[in-house]
Structure 1
Amino acid sequence: MAPRFDNERKTIDLAVADLLEAQLLRSLGFANRGGYERLWLGQAIHSRYQEEALGEDASYRREVTISHRFVHRGYEVTVHGRIDGLRRNPGGGWVIEEIKSVRRGVGLSPAAQELYQRQAALYGWLLAHKLRAEGEASPHIEVELVLIEIGSDRLERQPVELKLPVIEALVKRRLNGLIRAHQQAAAARDARRRAAAELRFPYPEMRRGQERIVERVREVLADGSHLLLEAPTGIGKTVAALFPALRHVLRHDRRLFVLTAKTLQQEMATEVLELLNQDDAFRALRLRAKAKMCANDQLVCHEEYCDYAKDYYAKLQESGVVLRLLEGHRTLLPDDVFAAARRALVCPFEVSLELAERAQVTVCDYNYAFDPYVALSAFHADADLSDVVVIVDEIHNLVARGRGYYSPLLSARDIRRAAAEAAAGGAPIHHRIAELCLVLARLIEGLVDEVEPAAAKDDWAVEQRFPEDGLWRLRPQLDQVFVDYLEFRRETHSLSPDDRFVEQYFGVLKFLNALTLSDGAFSHFVERRGEDRRWRILCKDPSRFLGAVINRCHSVVGLSATLSPHAFYRDLLGFDRDRTERLSLPSPFPPENRRVVIDSSVATTYRERPRNYPRIAERLARFADEVPGNCLALFPSYAFLAQVAGLLRCERKRVLVQARSDSDEEREAILQTLRSALLRDVLLLAVAGGVFAEGVDYPGDMLKAVAVVGPCLPAVTLEQQLLMDYYEERFERGFEYAYVVPGMTRVVQAAGRLIRSADDVGVIALFDKRFLFRTYRQHLPADWLPQDGGSLAGDPAAAAAEFFHALAGEPT
């Protein structure tokens, strides 16, 4: 992140990279901005070299954290960094190593050479100040670049001249420039502070409950603590949280990230930000996925293959596209960024990242903060997040998403497909790839076949330790062939975005990374799915990884309609117990606007399901026909949905069915049909947890009833059983946390689509007798339950007829 100034305390906090001139950093070119060879192979090469050095030299230390504090122009300045390697030379002096991986047969460019030497020399300067502070008057320090060739591991040591007075002067000159830039930006910061004081809630009055949200968010931001906010759908959580968060970040010169799980939620958050920014007080950016922001039809991020990557930094400066976008748009939408960047012939996604560094608010997917492979630089493991405020929408989704980040698999079928694709290439490198992929596939298949249960069916899974040594022994060979393959692709101008070998290579690296992270919160198992044989790693508890991000932030506010049990979400999301508060609010809407009914005459357990399909279809159809408007019916799975859809016969409703393969355009067409309903009212059959069940608004009369078929429990798989065992051991609530909580979360989220304002009315029908059992009933919102202690059981069709007749003032 950028240098951190605190004007009140007169402090500046800097990383070594901040002391390198921007022009020098940018002169390296586009491909060095996180190129995957350097990101993946570079890390492996660093680690391998450091491990060998530790074994050979007792004085060797790696990743040495170092800092220096001093006063400059009235500021207390702290510079911190991390030395790759530090050792003693035979004479007792110190040797600093700056380790870099380089392409085979390609020397460093003059710009790269200068950058790396300057960076290494700065570490020498830091060490010199540290040693002097410890009493070593004239420390002897040598600095060298350690250049390791990718693929061959050939090593070259280049000495770096260390002139401490020259470096001291360069540091002060760079500091003067940073201070000058900070002072020049002071007018904009002061304007934002004034705007914070003038910022007003965007609606004439707040709904009941919003005042409490605004006040509690204000308090936790002032304290630097976290908040888990549970409040019903429709109360206006997002705007009530964003309003005080914006005032805080504008007043204190902090940055706000709004994280969502779905595109539709990003759109809604952006609309709220637009309402809050009528006075043009800040810049808000919405990030779109890289694949959808690519202006090159091949999605190959390299200067040699993409006109939008070629001469990127030169064109960026010449075009002024970033400044024009910032001056011309208070809300920076993906389409506008894409169009402007394309006109300037610069990469639209990279321009988005440039804008993210300057915008006060960024709206994006969870991945950009929590996925270790795609996170923004602001959220990297060593980034300082103390000036970052995060609002996480529908935060209950982050538990499963977090598990997924650290739960890779290796598929023998996919690896064999990569082998077949490579073999078709014909060049020697293709044959090497094919042979190596087949070795890997046979390794996977051999273990799966060896442990296959005697009575196994077509699909099965069993916990199993992996022969890790065999996989690790393949790693150097994979690295070698990968580098050779990339060089071949460059030389033949045949780089492709859809390369199965490249995909599988990265898959192996992710798998090996997960192996190194594995502890008691992980399980390893093998499985057969049809003809495919797989190794899988399951992260059962992502809290240490998510918490490593969350607890470095100034404050994180998590929003959801379903955050009970509180301890489950707080602990599995990694929130610091001592810094995390809870706020749970009841529905602000009149209870008479809603009727909840449970059809206890049907059962949806896996065993009882087949004989109940006809009855569910018949009773769902009668219910929908009694509703004067559109209905949404949600099922635990596409398979269940298909069975009922084939039997459904509605007399007064047009039936639409969500398909697994629906595109964004097809989903939007369904929503448009619900909005218009020109022909007749619609019954939409969809899947709980999907796009139509969460994160979608159905305003006004767009929806009059929601039916949820079954508690929507996850399927019984080895994965869920492993989660159940883990939760039983940690919380002593295994079945509830592994099955009931995620299932009932989907139920409540789905039903929340119905009542989103004081004027909305409708019926919620729950089809399954289990909803009356205490295990499930306790997870229903308290305001759904009869205040007189009565039962919710009944006939959904009769309940709907009675409810809507009463609303119309008609006799039932």
Structure 2
Amino acid sequence: MEEIRVSVRNLVEFILRSGDIDNRRGTMADKDAMQMGSRLHRKIQGKMGADYHAEVPLRTQIDCDGFLLIVEGRADGIFERDGQTIIDEIKGVFRDVERMEEPDPVHLAQARCYACIYAEQQNLEKIGVQMTYANLDTEEIRRFSSSYTRSELEEWFTHLTEAYQKWAQMQIEWKAERKASIGKTVFPYPYREGQKDLAAAVYRTIWHGKKLFIQAPTGVGKTLSTVFPAVQAVGQELGDKIFYLTAKTITRTVAEEAFSLLKKQGLHYKVLTLTAKEKICFCEEPDCNPEKCPYARGHFDRVNDAVYELLTSYEENSANYSRERIMEQAEKWKVCPFEMALDVSLWSDAIICDYNYVFDPQAKLKRFFAEGVKGDYLFLIDEAHNLVERGREMYSATLYKEDFLEVKRFLRPFSRKAVAALERGNKYLLEWKRECEEYTLLSNIDAFALNLFNVSHALEQLLEDRESVMNRPSTDSEIEEGKKKTLDFYFQVRAFLEIYEELDDSYEIYVQHDREGRFALKLYCIHTADKIGQCLEKGRASILFSATLLPVQYYMELLSGKSEDYAVYARSTFDPSRKKVLLGLDVSTKYTRRTPAEYQKIASYIRQITDSRQGNYLVFFPSYKMMTDVRGFFEAEMQDDTEILEQSMHMSEAQREEFLEQFQERESGTLIGFCVMGGIFGEGIDLKKDRLIGAIVVGTGLPQVCNEREILKQYYDRRDMDGFDHAYRYPGMNKVMQSAGRVIRTDEDTGVIVLLDERFGQAQYRSSFPREWADYETCTLRNVKEKLERFWKGCIVPDDK
């Protein structure tokens, strides 16, 4: 008989939730507290004596119509008191436990489930429940006790499980339908050369439950070559849910298209695209409290009905839960679209989302990736080269001295305790500031962190107190702004403390004066392998792929660190005669060579390259300043039929689209886009055929020398791992390859790639070149045009212009 398993916690949180979304009080942090409370749990359990049985597994099964519903979990403790058996449920919280008047209804429901299961197993007529709340900062404890008869618990538990049965039945029917459709789905196109081998490698990796790193040149169809075998693996019960993880919005669209292709073949698959709260919120600015947002008010009273209706609507394409579809359903039911989408994820077969939802300790989907939880998840990680720097961001944390002062000034009339704690924190920072010139590495911040716990606790009390300034409405704009700043600061403190608890030798702690003049204390995660690896271990298998995953050992070291992982180099199907790679080694972008004469030479190179054939080109520079300076020299000598577009800082989505729309196939004339390496046009854009015929990359893309890069370099140098490669060369060359990859997108494309910098002649830089560049040639300003004219003449087909 089919089995559906649900944890006690997920059952009660899903069925019994009610009321508003409200981010104004510290109770919002209790979800994070559940992830941080393991140590305190063990401490409390250890003090309860020899007769206290901790972490007792409990399980019951209910015979439903055609399936078994299995409800399972672990009771934190079971003990005897005054002749009665007591179920102990421990919850770590950030709020002041002395202010609690009663246990949270959902927490109590979890304990009542354990009590019902245990009473039935042990044939007990009565059983007690003890709710133990412990403050994670102060370790202060508050307990609530209650007692129930077995019959009343069984009646209550029956109602609870009956409410869940329709969801379980829906899932059983859908999975049968899904599996049948997968068996009929075939690869939608004839396999290109090497594509079948790539798909087979993905399937084998999932079969073995391993990680696979794929260096896949543009044009091999890597998205479909990973999605298709992953779906087939789900059909063979080698996985249950696919997470397609991306760094940029445009690559999510590519993933959606891949699933849509398979659906046209008859695949039945529920595919959800998660959109950031800021982009999907109905309000001008997300403010998740019932006084400001009508969709937050009573959200939990309506959301289950909204989700059930969405999941059981089977019109054409209804199982594509795009941003637009989610917003439409949320508007109909007057619920928060972001929170509703998170609920839809529980019942989806594939989730297309940003890296954050799996890896970021602040944003990850706790319902899938909580401590101790592991699932049959398949992780498909697109543009995986981005995960290194994104990982460093996600596992690092920063606090600013100026924020302590600003929040202290606001709270001075309202909380003596919070002001005192903030003042002590500011003194620590002031002492470090006085001794810091550029940056200072710190070996120990334990005393500061201890005080930071006090800051957190004091702010938590303000957030919990309904009479405090944080919870009183005000028409004073300064007070409202102060409340917002205080709440933001509170969450920054919580995030900092969470990272602090995870400190190990993959971190450096330092203080510095930043470019804006603020004084910062940072917990900097440098070596990300362990943190990312722990997240990937939550699933069954991981496929990490990119067109620029070179050198692959570098990425394996930082994203996994395990020698048993697999790596493959997908062969390109592209005709090498349709591509020309030139290295201009008689020019330099080194800081010591950034002179008007050198800029004039770069401008002349661009002129010679673009004069070799009219069309659309992108030129990538290492900085906005160099881009502007070179443009001045180029404009002085460019042809009348040449047009320049220039990337600007902080372009909106509409401005980006307008920029790219200019790159259309043209009968005559030349369009040149001046862009910045590593920027919005250096990755993810797809200008096929004659929409782009050339990419010119000026410089090696090395990151600007700064405190953080130097700290990173020294970290690896101390470990004999070539700090310059880790801090500068590899990140720089990745930007070069990404920029160059904007040209040559399909088998039908023809184009040129020209790299301008003397350092490209060095073996250390060429070692990062993909195999497809093995036929590169060197050139000079004198002969670059001649070489390109010869290339264009040799590769233009008769019907070409």
Task: State the TM-score, normalized to the length of structure 2.
Answer: 0.86
CA separation of 1:337 and 1:606: change in aligned 2, threshold 3 A = same
Please name the residue that 1:533 is paired with.
519
Q: Deviations over 1:153-199 (max 9, x none)?
A: 98542213255676577667866776775455433322211211221
- Provide the C-alpha distance between the structure 1 equivalents of 2:201 and 2:104, rounded to a whole number of angstroms: 52
Q: Which one of 496, 507, 510 corresponds to residue 511 of structure 1?
A: 496
- 1:599 is matched with 584
CA distance in structure 2 between the aligned counterparts of 1:389 and 1:358, rounded to whole angstroms:
15
Paired with 1:398 and 1:40, the residues of 2 have a C-alpha distance of 26
Residue 489 of structure 1, aligned match among 460, 465, 470: 470
2:286 is equivalent to residue 308 of structure 1: no
Aligned pair in 2 of structure 1 residues 630, 727: CA closer, same or farther (>3 Å)? Answer: same
Do the aligned partners of residues 308 and 792 (structure 1) sit closer, same or farther apart at CA in structure 2, a change above 3 Å counting? same
1:594-633 matches, cutoff 5 A: 594-610=579-595, 612-633=598-619
Where relative contact order (Cα < 8 A, 6+ residues apart) is larger, the structure is 2
The separation in 2 between residues aligned to 1:69 and 1:409, in whole angstroms, is 43
Find the counterpart in structure 1 of residue 215 from structure 2.
230
Shift of 1:402: 0.9
Tell whether the 8 Å contact from 1:632 to 1:685 is kept in structure 2 after alignment. yes
534-543 vs 310-319, which deviates more? 310-319
Q: Is residue 30 of structure 1 aligned with residue 21 of structure 2? A: yes
In structure 2, the residue matched to 1:748 is 737
- Residues 45, 148 of structure 1: 8 Å contact kept: no
Aligned to 2:349: 360
RMSD: 3.9
261, 266, 288: which is aligned to 2:252?
A: 266
Between 1:738-747 and 1:723-732, the stretch displaced more is 723-732
Which secondary structure does the structure 1 equivalent of 2:522 belong to?
A: strand
Q: Please, which of 527, 530, 551 is the counterpart of residue 565 of structure 1?
A: 551
Give, in whole Å, the separation in 1 of the partners of 2:9 and 2:790: 69
Question: CA contact under 8 A between 2:246 and 2:353: conserved in structure 1?
Answer: yes
Partner of 1:719: 708
Which aligned pairs between 1:84-103 and structure 2 lie closer than 5 A? 96-99=88-91, 101=93
Amino acid at match of 2:791: F
Q: Deviations over 1:705-759 (max 9, x none)?
A: 0111111122233322333344345573433233222211221222122112121
**Match among 622, 626, 633 for residue 636 of structure 1:** 622
- Between the aligned partners of 1:116 and 1:661, the Cα distance in structure 2 is 45
**Residue 143 in structure 1 maps to residue 125 in structure 2:** no
Q: Which residue of 362, 382, 388 corresponds with 2:377?
A: 388
What residue number does 2:787 align with? 799
Report SS of the residue matched to 2:592. coil
Q: Following TM superposition, by how much is the alpha carbon of 1:11 offset from its aligned partner in structure 2, in angstroms?
A: 5.6
Residue 214 of structure 2 aligns to a residue in which SS? strand
Q: Is 1:189 the counterpart of 2:175 in the alignment?
A: yes
Kindly provide the amino acid, as one letter, of the partner of residue 492 in structure 1.
P
Give 1:480's aligned residue: 458
- Measured in 2, the distance between the counterparts of 1:773 and 1:335 equals 50
The equivalent of 1:347 in structure 2 is 336
Q: 1:501 aligns with which of 486, 506, 511?
A: 486
What are the within-5 Å matches in structure 2 for residues 743-782 of structure 1?
743-782=732-771
- Structure 1 equivalent of residue 573 of structure 2: 588
Q: CA 1:105–1:516 in structure 2 vs 1: closer, same or farther (change >3 Å)?
A: closer
Give the conservation status (yes or no) of the 8 Å contact 2:296–2:335.
yes
Q: Could you tell me which runs of 5 or more consecutive residues in structure 1 were left unpaired when the two chains were aligned.
A: 1-6, 453-459
Q: Does residue 285 of structure 1 match 2:272?
A: yes
**Does 1:294 pair with 2:285?**
no
Deviation at 1:41, TM superposition (A): 8.2
- Which has the larger displacement, 348-357 or 596-605? 348-357
Aligned twin of 1:524: 509
**Deviation of residue 400 (structure 1)?**
1.2
Distance 1:744 1:479, change over 3 A: same
Asked whether the equivalents of residues 703 and 732 of structure 2 are also in contact (C-alpha less than 8 Å), the reply is: yes
Q: Distance in 2 between matches of 1:657 and 1:55?
A: 65
SS class of match (1:756) = coil
Distance 1:481 1:39 in 2: 14
- Deviation digits for residues 191-231 of structure 1, max 9, x if unmatched? 2112112213233x232221112222222223333221111
User: Which residue number corresponds to residue 457 of structure 1?
Assistant: none
Q: CA deviation at 1:659?
A: 1.9
Asked whether the 8 Å contact 1:429–1:485 carries over to 2, the reply is no
The reply on whether 1:208 has 2:198 as its aligned counterpart is no
Please tell me whether the aligned partners of residues 597 and 793 of structure 1 are also in contact (alpha carbons under 8 angstroms).
no
Equivalent runs, 1:654-733 vs 2, <5 Å: 654-675=643-664, 680-728=669-717, 730=719, 732-733=721-722
**Structure 1 segment 431-510 matched on structure 2, within 5 A:** 437=422, 440-452=425-437, 460-484=438-462, 487=466, 488-492=469-473, 499-510=484-495
* C-alpha contact 2:615 2:690 (8 A) present in aligned 1: yes
Are residues 1:374 and 2:363 paired?
A: yes
Amino acid at match of 1:597: L
In 2: Cα distance, 1:730 partner to 1:129 partner? 58
Whether the 8 Å contact between 2:26 and 2:463 is mirrored in structure 1 is: no
* Whole-angstrom distance in 1 between the partners of 2:106 and 2:267: 39
Would the alpha carbon gap of residues 190 and 765 (structure 1) be closer, same or farther in structure 2, given more than 3 Å must change?
A: same
Q: 1:644 to 1:34 in 2, by over 3 A?
A: farther
CA-CA distance at 1:502 after TM superposition = 2.0
SS at match of 1:544: helix
Counterpart secondary structure, 1:689? coil
8 Å contact from structure 1 (residues 151, 484) kept in 2: no
Q: Return closer, same or farther for 1:368/1:678 CA change in 2, 3 Å cut-off.
A: farther
Partner of 1:3: none
Q: Paired residue for 2:393?
A: 404
Shift of 1:672: 0.9
1:66 maps to 2:56: yes
TM normalised by structure 1 equals: 0.85
Identity score, percent: 26
Is contact 2:125-2:150 (8 Å) kept?
Answer: no
Assess, with a 3 A threshold, how the Cα gap between structure 1 residues 83 and 635 changes in structure 2: closer, same or farther. farther
Stretches of structure 2 that go unaligned for 5 or more consecutive residues are none
Q: Which moved more, 1:327-336 or 1:362-371?
A: 327-336
SS at match of 1:755: coil
Q: Which of 103, 111, 114 lines up with 1:120 in the alignment? A: 111
Between the aligned partners of 2:296 and 2:142, the Cα distance in structure 1 is: 30
Confirm or deny: 8 A CA contact 2:310 2:329 kept in the other structure.
Answer: no
Deviation by residue 1:428-468 (Cα, 9 ceiling, x = unmatched): 2288867765654443232122233xxxxxxx223223543
AA matched with 2:611: D
Give me the whole-angstrom Cα distance separating, in 1, the residues matched to 2:147 and 2:27. Answer: 31
Tell me the equivalent position of 1:455: none
Q: How far does residue 670 in structure 1 lie from its aligned partner after superposition?
A: 0.5
| Separation (CA, whole Å) in 2 of partners of 1:363 and 1:283 | 11
Q: 1:599 and 1:319, CA in 2 relative to 1: closer, same or farther beyond 3 A?
A: closer
What is the number of residues matched between the two proteins? 778
Q: Residues 464 and 316 of structure 1: is their aligned pair in 2 closer, same or farther, counting only changes over 3 Å?
A: closer
Q: Measured at CA, do residues 151 and 449 of structure 1 come closer, stay the same or move farther in structure 2, by a change above 3 Å?
A: closer
CA distance in 1, matches of 2:552, 2:36: 43
